[in-house]
Amino acid sequence: MFDIILIFQLIVLVFSVMIHEIAHGSVAFSLGDPTAKNEGRLTLNPLKHIDIFGSIILPLLLLLSSVFSGGPGIIFGWAKPVPINPYNFKDQKWGSLKVAVAGPATNFAVAIFFGLLIRFLNIPVQDNFFQFLSIIVIYNFSLALFNLVPIPPLDGSHILLGIFPIFSRKAMIFLQQYGLIILVFVLFSGGFYFLNGIIVWLFQLTTGVNLF
């Protein structure tokens, strides 16, 4: 059962990050930018979205770590960002903000849908089906919240720039230079553990099940 859960986590991760990027590209296309569509990125074919490190190397390393540790761990990663040209947007004022919000919003929608499915089907916690649905809910809430962190290259930085353009442009000059370094440092120093409490709360709110 442990191996099946790990494999399912990988599948959920791949499709969750994939629909996240497709959402960005689809909203951009609706706003007049065909860049993602022209490069074949508005597709459910995982091969079109693979990032060598984020989609293959990192998840496999985390998978091996889970296997050797003898317990299921979180397998994380990301897809290749879809190409966007904001100069093509019909809505120059809010277009970039709409595209940035689309990815996390899609993950929230998926998490809420499957969370409510658990609630209304009243699936027993001991049931394997509950575990599989829970993985979908937790992963999508995690991806949505993680991407809302206002550090480049995450979506939160683009959202901040869209809402507070004058204030955030000055900060973005610094963050665009050092954002990835800051992000890696925060990740490995455990700085995102505070998100766990929010994820647990959202899970309980949608499913009606307390994880602890």
Catalytic residues: 21
**Among 117, 116, 132, residue whose Cα is nearest residue 72:** 132
- Measure the CA dihedral 199/7/78/135, to 10°: -20
Q: What separation in angstroms does the CA of 182 have from each of 141, 148, 164, 177, 189?
A: 22, 15, 21, 10, 10
Residue with tokens 């100069």, as numbered in its chain: 87
Residue 146 near residue 195, CB atoms below 8 Å: yes
